[in-house]
Structure 1
Amino acid sequence: MLDIEVIEDPSAAEASLDPIRTRILQELTQPATATQLAARVDMPRQKVNYHLKALEQHGLVELVEERRKGNVTERVVRATAASYLISPSALASVAPDPRRFADRFSAFWLLSLASRTVQEMGKLISGAAAAKKKLASFAIDGEITFRSAAERAAFAEELGVAVTRLVDKYHDGGAAAVAGGARKHRLVVVLHPALKTPLTEQTTHAPAEKDQSNDWQP
């Protein structure tokens, strides 16, 4: 079972979005028979079987084992992943294209880059799983609070310079590197405002937060 599976096929995406099937996939992180699953989701076994067949047809559910019980053979199945993510390629004709924006201060370009990342990582994970190889990847996630828009702009500028310096230092696009099997890697760095904490999660003594909804650009 994968930790995350990226769904690329439009029909599989449609099948996964059905509320009942989503619930079934959630329950099938642990293997179960149709009878066991019917009890978990409080549904008739026949109806559960109908949805299971659809999910299995689209590769979202897999057979774990078959058990003989008297004259009946029970099939034990599970979800193919613990979580699912629908790739923008499922909407290929209207999927965002980073080449349309190419503006580092555009929120839409950031979304396009994120969309491309999902598509490419989905294919890479599938390929690595099929080849039974590990996929080399690296990510950093954190939060930073800026005292002003000017400091945010300065940070973005320094970050850009630092990344460019590292790329210049390590990038080898020469013919010898390509002929030697050097692997090209994708580098994406993003910076965006963090979502505000819901009021229900804030303490009653928390200071009021300044509205910066229109102040997102460096």
Structure 2
Amino acid sequence: MDTAPVEVIRASDQAITALDPVRSRLLAHLREPRSASGLARELGLPRQRVNYHLRQLEDQGLVVSAGERRWGGITERLVVATARAYVISPEAMGPAAPPEPGERPDRLSAAFLLALAAQTVRHLGSLLSRSRRTGGRVETFALQTDVTLASPAARADFARDLAAAVTGVVARYHDERTPGGRAHRLVIGAYPLPPTEEEHHD
């Protein structure tokens, strides 16, 4: 099984398993195939404890078998994580997950931006799950940039101009009449950089 660059954890049982401190360390070390004894040496843990946690990860489908190897006259079983990194979908929170963005949202609120981000993770998790079943590629594209705005007035002007530009581009390409066309979700958001990120950006 090929290790995916990133996997979205959508089930609460999987999330609980992955968030255990020992198991999250194991997942980080299992980006390449390892044996239980090798992991025990690397992490300084008893092999029996490592085996227990590996079984929990395997039961949740986060770790899979990766063959065997001979080591010092002993045959060791190898395992590997299903992905190099994991993201936990808000849907793993069940009823406590953020709701879908409202029909009349406050577009200037952080809560609305978080709702959009949560929705995006949910949608991408579903698409990635389907792509693994079908072998197809998830057709996505993304843009990211930083902009320094001099004042609240400049921010308002920037938001207005950006909205006008995006509306114009969407109007130029949107075509719901052509058979076989596929709808895409476009999400644009902006937020102040946290102080540490802002210092790094400068």
Amino acid at match of 2:98: P
1:162 corresponds in structure 2 to 165
Q: Identity of paired residues, percent?
A: 43
Amino acid at match of 1:185: H
Following superposition, the deviation at residue 34 of structure 1 comes to: 0.6
Secondary structure at the aligned position of 2:144 is classed as coil
Alpha carbons 1:5, 1:83 under 8 Å: kept? yes
Amino acid at match of 2:142: A
Answering whether residue 162 of structure 2 is matched by residue 145 of structure 1, we say no
Work out which of the two has the higher radius of gyration on C-alpha atoms and give 1 or 2. Answer: 1
Alpha carbons 1:125, 1:135 under 8 Å: kept? yes
TM-score normalised by the chain length of structure 1: 0.84
Following superposition, the deviation at residue 73 of structure 1 comes to: 4.6
Instruction: Name the stretch that deviates more: 5-14 or 85-94.
Output: 85-94
Give the whole-Å Cα distance in 2 for the aligned partners of 1:19 and 1:153. Answer: 44
Answering whether residue 134 of structure 2 is matched by residue 131 of structure 1, we say yes
Aligned match for 2:51, one of 34, 49, 56:
49
Alpha carbons 2:6, 2:83 under 8 Å: kept? yes
Give the whole-Å Cα distance in 2 for the aligned partners of 1:105 and 1:22. Answer: 36
Following superposition, the deviation at residue 197 of structure 1 comes to: 2.3
Distance 1:69 1:151, change over 3 A: closer
2:115 corresponds in structure 1 to 112
Following superposition, the deviation at residue 124 of structure 1 comes to: 0.8
Following superposition, the deviation at residue 69 of structure 1 comes to: 6.8
Query: After the TM superposition, which segments of 4 or more aligned residues of structure 1 sit over 2 Å from their partners?
Result: 66-74
Matches within 5 A, 1:79-98: 79-97=81-99, 98=101
TM-score normalised by the chain length of structure 2: 0.91
Alpha carbons 2:12, 2:94 under 8 Å: kept? no
